[in-house]
Amino acid sequence: MTNERLVEIDGFVSGRIENAQRVVVGDSGFFEGSIHTDILEIAGTVHGQVNTSLLLIRRHGQLVYDQLIYDHLELAPLGDLRPAGRTAIRVIRNYSQPQARPKQGPILPGMLTSLESY
């Protein structure tokens, strides 16, 4: 499936889902294959490769991955996220927003102000 707005899975599905806006795997859903979507919500089971902006694993949802790429993750209590067997695993977390810098306190007399002073 390609370029779908919403894909709902209740039952067994095997294959590839590409460029979907949202994929929902229901409580009775089982998906095996690869998923590329903006939002992936898992209440059932997913096995395979996942590339998503927002990954939501609900209570009793399960993701067993070979490769996982995501921007944001929400893992509910009793949700399960784990690698598949002893395969080569690659997890990539994209950083879409710059990280906040720690605030710098005031410079007090006697403190180093540059590396040249050191």
Tell whether the model's pLDDT for residue 26 goes beyond 80.
Answer: yes
110 vs 27: CA distance, rounded Å: 63
Report the 10 Å Cβ neighbour count for 35: 25
For a pLDDT cut of 90, what percent of the chain falls above it?
Answer: 64
Predicted pLDDT of residue 117 = 40
Domain borders along the chain are 6-95
What are the pLDDT digits (tens) for 67-101? 999 999 999 999 999 988 765 555 666 554 444 44
Q: Of 71, 28, 34, which is closest to residue 56 (Cα–Cα)?
A: 71
pTM above 0.75, yes or no: no
- Cβ contact 113:107 at 8 Å: yes
Say which DSSP state 55 is in. Answer: E
Q: What is the arithmetic mean of pLDDT over 1-15?
A: 89
